[in-house]
Structure 1
């Protein structure tokens, strides 16, 4: 052999062996990504009516929880609170008791809830309240059903029963809200309202009117009547339903 061949073999023998080539391993995408795409496509093609509450809630959670499977979170929220409206109406501290919901996500859900309530309130303002009673109840339930303290709310109406204003007049304790009939009627006169709807919630969940509720309502009715203010109804909101004093023939 030639001298050059011997030198080449010697050079190659001194070189370290290259490391074995690693076979490329395909990175598997999380299973929920395909599900998200399919759900978005269904919403886009068929609208929200084609989706049950848990899937619509999933869609909301996609943006709020970008790197996790949101289906179990959505189902846990509905198992805890009942309906999508009740999930959005729940206070942040209760939302955070559900696994997967942290402070940021709970706050974002409340922002969505506020936007939804503004939308429903806008629809009520465009119509006669007494002919949009279902929307009024939906709005009140979403706004108050899961409040942990009693709130006393008043819907002030004009002579055509259109909504002038929606105000929380008092916030009380878990089982009592101080209400002053003269202040209720005074505020109605300030707004030039000719009728009102009273609303308050029972944090206990039971919307049955108490004796104090009935007596207070009758006093407001009598005070308002002397000044031309009609009380159309007093609605009590609970977690699982509502009671209408007019429907119960209490006013």
Structure 2
């Protein structure tokens, strides 16, 4: 006996054929999620659940980055479905991060922005991370430093510099997200960036930039002339 009901089997086979022949662009977002869910929920139409999830979390990026507990509140979602979605998200981020590691970060800026937007823009709380670079501006470590609330996450100058000394970092790029969507820097963002730069300067540690990520885009304090 087939593992799937006949009506679902034919539909899934068509989705699979389109994916194989047309590549990533061949399926709509809800069809990608539908097929992924079908791998963990046999013998059931997964299109309604896929559409519900996308609507609840504001689209594919928000769904893949969503907190597991938030997903579990959706009827029909179990650990198995969450694991499948999280595995896809992790694979996508690793592919984007691999592009960042291929060459000096300053010469590969768009790849860095693509990676940071995919990882940070969908989050509902602020997260602060520091990218550590060597003397060739190659990425040696990408670390999440702190998580906070919907409008604030702490960045401690001493913690950043101590970690940079431990890793032997020659340069830093500070990054955080604005869950509001607006990436405009606040006065506090500017002040803490300047304090990190001042603390690092006598130690030979350069702050290349502070990038703020939001759903509406990104802001570079360096490009704005603020550091």
Per the TM superposition, whether the score is higher than 0.5 is: yes
Note the residue ranges of structure 2 that are not aligned, 5 or more in a row: none
Q: Per-residue deviation at 1:160?
A: 1.9
Q: Per-residue deviation at 1:193?
A: 1.6
Instruction: State the structure with more CA Rg.
Output: 1
Query: Quick check: 1:176 aligned with 2:152?
Result: yes
Query: Quick check: 1:112 aligned with 2:88?
Result: yes
What is the match of residue 138 of structure 1?
Answer: 114
Q: In the TM superposition, what are the counterparts of 1:201-240 in structure 2 within 5 Å?
A: 201-240=177-216
What is the match of residue 155 of structure 1?
Answer: 131
Q: Per-residue deviation at 1:36?
A: 0.6
Secondary structure of the residue aligned to 1:64 is coil
Contact residue 234 and residue 246 of structure 1 kept, 8 A? yes
Q: Can you list the C-alpha shifts for 1:172-227, whole angstroms capped at 9, x where unaligned?
A: 33332222223212222221221111111223333222211111111112222222
2:28 pairs, out of 37, 52, 55, with 52
Secondary structure of the residue aligned to 2:207 is strand
What is the match of residue 16 of structure 1?
Answer: none
TM-score of the superposed pair, with normalisation by structure 2: 0.85
Q: Per-residue deviation at 1:99?
A: 4.8
Distance 1:89 1:142, change over 3 A: farther
Q: Can you list the C-alpha shifts for 1:68-114, whole angstroms capped at 9, x where unaligned?
A: 22223333333343443332112123334445433432233123322
Query: Quick check: 1:129 aligned with 2:105?
Result: yes
Distance 1:92 1:240, change over 3 A: farther
Q: Give the whole-Å Cα distance in 1 for the aligned partners of 2:160 and 2:33.
A: 38
Q: Per-residue deviation at 1:53?
A: 2.6
TM-score of the superposed pair, with normalisation by structure 1: 0.78
Q: After TM superposition, which residue ranges in structure 1, 4 or more long, deviate above 4 angstroms?
A: none
Note the residue ranges of structure 1 that are not aligned, 5 or more in a row: 1-27
